[in-house]
Amino acid sequence: MLLLLLIFIIISICSSASIPGDSAVNDWIGTIDSPFLDNSMQLITSLGDFPYGIIVSIIFALGLWLNRLYLETIFILILPYIGVFISYIFKLFINRPRPLQETGANENSFISGHTIYIFLFMGLAIYFLPLIIQNKTYRILLQAIAAVIILLVSFSRIYLQAHWLSDVIASLITGILLLIPAIIIYKYLLKRGLLCRSFLKSKP
Protein backbone atom coordinates (compact mmCIF):
# COMPACT_ATOMS: atom_id res chain seq x y z
CA MET A 1 0.00 0.00 0.00
CA LEU A 2 2.78 2.43 0.95
CA LEU A 3 4.76 1.48 -2.13
CA LEU A 4 1.72 2.12 -4.34
CA LEU A 5 1.22 5.53 -2.73
CA LEU A 6 4.88 6.39 -3.33
CA ILE A 7 4.58 5.30 -6.98
CA PHE A 8 1.42 7.41 -7.34
CA ILE A 9 3.22 10.50 -6.01
CA ILE A 10 6.20 9.92 -8.32
CA ILE A 11 3.99 9.44 -11.39
CA SER A 12 1.97 12.54 -10.51
CA ILE A 13 5.10 14.66 -10.18
CA CYS A 14 6.67 13.32 -13.37
CA SER A 15 3.44 13.97 -15.29
CA SER A 16 3.16 17.48 -13.80
CA ALA A 17 -0.20 16.58 -12.26
CA SER A 18 -1.46 18.50 -9.25
CA ILE A 19 -1.16 16.58 -5.99
CA PRO A 20 -3.97 17.26 -3.49
CA GLY A 21 -2.82 19.37 -0.57
CA ASP A 22 0.47 20.66 -1.97
CA SER A 23 -0.66 24.11 -3.08
CA ALA A 24 -3.19 24.51 -0.27
CA VAL A 25 -0.66 23.78 2.45
CA ASN A 26 1.98 25.95 0.80
CA ASP A 27 -0.47 28.85 0.49
CA TRP A 28 -1.47 28.45 4.13
CA ILE A 29 2.18 28.50 5.21
CA GLY A 30 2.62 31.71 3.23
CA THR A 31 -0.05 33.44 5.32
CA ILE A 32 1.74 32.75 8.63
CA ASP A 33 3.72 35.68 9.96
CA SER A 34 5.49 34.52 13.12
CA PRO A 35 9.14 35.39 13.86
CA PHE A 36 9.04 32.84 16.70
CA LEU A 37 7.99 30.02 14.35
CA ASP A 38 10.48 31.19 11.72
CA ASN A 39 13.37 30.94 14.18
CA SER A 40 12.08 27.75 15.82
CA MET A 41 11.68 25.92 12.52
CA GLN A 42 15.16 26.99 11.40
CA LEU A 43 16.58 25.57 14.61
CA ILE A 44 14.60 22.33 14.35
CA THR A 45 15.45 21.73 10.71
CA SER A 46 19.16 22.13 11.51
CA LEU A 47 19.00 18.71 13.21
CA GLY A 48 19.15 17.27 9.71
CA ASP A 49 21.88 19.64 8.54
CA PHE A 50 25.61 19.06 8.29
CA PRO A 51 27.41 18.88 10.71
CA TYR A 52 24.76 18.80 13.45
CA GLY A 53 23.06 15.63 12.24
CA ILE A 54 26.40 13.82 12.01
CA ILE A 55 27.41 14.95 15.51
CA VAL A 56 24.15 13.68 17.02
CA SER A 57 24.41 10.33 15.22
CA ILE A 58 28.04 9.88 16.32
CA ILE A 59 27.14 10.61 19.94
CA PHE A 60 24.31 8.06 19.88
CA ALA A 61 26.53 5.54 18.07
CA LEU A 62 29.21 6.05 20.71
CA GLY A 63 26.66 5.24 23.42
CA LEU A 64 25.81 2.01 21.60
CA TRP A 65 29.47 1.14 21.11
CA LEU A 66 30.32 1.70 24.79
CA ASN A 67 27.49 -0.71 25.64
CA ARG A 68 29.13 -3.25 23.32
CA LEU A 69 26.24 -3.04 20.85
CA TYR A 70 28.50 -3.18 17.81
CA LEU A 71 25.95 -4.38 15.25
CA GLU A 72 23.53 -1.66 16.36
CA THR A 73 26.31 0.92 16.01
CA ILE A 74 26.89 -0.09 12.40
CA PHE A 75 23.19 0.21 11.58
CA ILE A 76 22.80 3.64 13.21
CA LEU A 77 25.83 4.96 11.32
CA ILE A 78 24.95 3.53 7.92
CA LEU A 79 21.17 3.35 7.41
CA PRO A 80 20.38 7.10 7.72
CA TYR A 81 22.99 7.89 5.08
CA ILE A 82 21.62 5.21 2.78
CA GLY A 83 18.39 7.19 3.01
CA VAL A 84 20.19 10.45 2.20
CA PHE A 85 21.89 8.79 -0.78
CA ILE A 86 18.52 7.58 -2.07
CA SER A 87 17.12 11.10 -1.67
CA TYR A 88 19.89 12.40 -3.93
CA ILE A 89 19.07 9.71 -6.50
CA PHE A 90 15.45 10.91 -6.52
CA LYS A 91 16.60 14.53 -6.85
CA LEU A 92 18.88 13.59 -9.73
CA PHE A 93 16.13 12.02 -11.82
CA ILE A 94 13.01 13.93 -10.73
CA ASN A 95 13.11 17.57 -11.67
CA ARG A 96 10.82 19.32 -9.21
CA PRO A 97 11.42 22.93 -8.13
CA ARG A 98 11.14 23.81 -4.47
CA PRO A 99 8.16 25.89 -3.29
CA LEU A 100 10.52 28.74 -2.41
CA GLN A 101 13.72 28.84 -4.42
CA GLU A 102 15.25 31.38 -2.03
CA THR A 103 15.71 28.69 0.64
CA GLY A 104 19.39 28.47 -0.30
CA ALA A 105 19.19 24.86 -1.51
CA ASN A 106 20.13 24.21 -5.13
CA GLU A 107 18.88 20.63 -5.42
CA ASN A 108 15.46 19.61 -6.63
CA SER A 109 12.65 19.31 -4.12
CA PHE A 110 11.75 15.59 -4.32
CA ILE A 111 12.40 14.00 -1.82
CA SER A 112 13.41 15.60 1.50
CA GLY A 113 16.85 14.47 2.61
CA HIS A 114 16.36 16.06 6.04
CA THR A 115 13.12 14.16 6.61
CA ILE A 116 14.36 10.75 5.54
CA TYR A 117 17.61 11.15 7.51
CA ILE A 118 15.83 12.13 10.73
CA PHE A 119 13.17 9.44 10.26
CA LEU A 120 15.72 6.65 9.83
CA PHE A 121 18.00 7.85 12.60
CA MET A 122 15.23 8.46 15.12
CA GLY A 123 13.41 5.30 14.02
CA LEU A 124 16.46 3.19 14.80
CA ALA A 125 17.02 5.14 18.02
CA ILE A 126 13.48 4.32 19.13
CA TYR A 127 14.07 0.65 18.31
CA PHE A 128 17.48 0.45 20.02
CA LEU A 129 16.74 2.51 23.13
CA PRO A 130 15.42 -0.51 25.13
CA LEU A 131 18.89 -2.03 24.77
CA ILE A 132 20.61 0.84 26.61
CA ILE A 133 17.87 2.41 28.76
CA GLN A 134 16.48 -0.05 31.30
CA ASN A 135 14.20 2.40 33.11
CA LYS A 136 10.84 2.09 31.37
CA THR A 137 9.71 5.65 32.15
CA TYR A 138 12.87 7.27 30.80
CA ARG A 139 12.86 4.96 27.79
CA ILE A 140 9.28 5.80 26.81
CA LEU A 141 9.98 9.51 27.36
CA LEU A 142 13.03 9.43 25.07
CA GLN A 143 11.15 7.41 22.46
CA ALA A 144 8.31 9.95 22.54
CA ILE A 145 10.80 12.81 22.14
CA ALA A 146 12.35 11.03 19.15
CA ALA A 147 8.92 10.60 17.54
CA VAL A 148 8.12 14.29 18.13
CA ILE A 149 11.44 15.29 16.53
CA ILE A 150 10.50 13.31 13.41
CA LEU A 151 7.20 15.20 13.20
CA LEU A 152 8.76 18.60 13.90
CA VAL A 153 11.56 18.22 11.35
CA SER A 154 9.06 17.01 8.76
CA PHE A 155 6.83 20.02 9.42
CA SER A 156 9.80 22.41 9.42
CA ARG A 157 10.70 21.43 5.84
CA ILE A 158 7.17 22.39 4.75
CA TYR A 159 7.02 25.50 6.93
CA LEU A 160 10.32 26.83 5.57
CA GLN A 161 8.96 26.14 2.07
CA ALA A 162 11.96 23.98 1.25
CA HIS A 163 9.62 21.12 0.29
CA TRP A 164 6.06 20.42 -0.76
CA LEU A 165 3.78 18.37 1.46
CA SER A 166 4.00 15.42 -0.96
CA ASP A 167 7.82 15.57 -0.81
CA VAL A 168 7.73 15.05 2.93
CA ILE A 169 5.07 12.33 2.75
CA ALA A 170 7.12 10.50 0.11
CA SER A 171 10.22 10.86 2.30
CA LEU A 172 8.44 9.28 5.26
CA ILE A 173 7.12 6.45 3.08
CA THR A 174 10.61 5.82 1.69
CA GLY A 175 11.95 5.84 5.22
CA ILE A 176 9.42 3.23 6.32
CA LEU A 177 10.22 1.07 3.28
CA LEU A 178 13.90 1.20 4.28
CA LEU A 179 13.49 0.87 8.04
CA ILE A 180 11.35 -2.27 8.05
CA PRO A 181 13.75 -4.38 5.90
CA ALA A 182 16.69 -2.97 7.90
CA ILE A 183 15.17 -4.19 11.16
CA ILE A 184 14.45 -7.59 9.59
CA ILE A 185 18.08 -7.84 8.45
CA TYR A 186 19.27 -6.67 11.88
CA LYS A 187 17.22 -9.38 13.63
CA TYR A 188 18.56 -12.00 11.22
CA LEU A 189 22.18 -10.96 11.76
CA LEU A 190 21.67 -10.74 15.51
CA LYS A 191 20.14 -14.22 15.65
CA ARG A 192 22.88 -15.62 13.44
CA GLY A 193 25.53 -14.02 15.63
CA LEU A 194 23.97 -15.47 18.78
CA LEU A 195 23.81 -18.91 17.17
CA CYS A 196 27.47 -18.67 16.14
CA ARG A 197 28.53 -17.67 19.65
CA SER A 198 26.47 -20.51 21.16
CA PHE A 199 28.07 -22.97 18.73
CA LEU A 200 31.59 -21.80 19.57
CA LYS A 201 30.92 -22.02 23.32
CA SER A 202 29.59 -25.56 22.94
CA LYS A 203 32.74 -26.78 21.23
CA PRO A 204 35.13 -28.65 23.55
Euclidean distance between the first and the last CA atom of the chain, given in angstroms as a whole number: 51
Please give the mean pLDDT across all residues of the chain. Answer: 88
Q: What is the pLDDT of residues 38-91, one digit of tens each?
A: 999 999 999 888 788 889 889 999 999 999 899 999 999 999 999 999 999 999
CA distance 83 to 104: 22
Secondary structure of residue 134 in the 3-state scheme? coil
| Reported pTM | 0.89
Percent of the chain predicted with pLDDT > 90: 54
**Mean pLDDT lowest for which of 71-80, 120-129, 153-162, 189-198?**
189-198
Instruction: Show me where the domains of the chain are located.
Output: 34-202
Instruction: Say what angle helices 113-132 and 70-93 make with each other, to 10 degrees.
Output: 170
Handedness of CA 128, 134, 138, 141 (dihedral sign): positive
* Residue 198 pLDDT class (50, 70, 90 cuts): very low
Q: What is the pLDDT of residues 106-137, one digit of tens each?
A: 678 898 999 999 999 999 999 999 999 989 99
CB 118 within 8 A of CB 153: yes
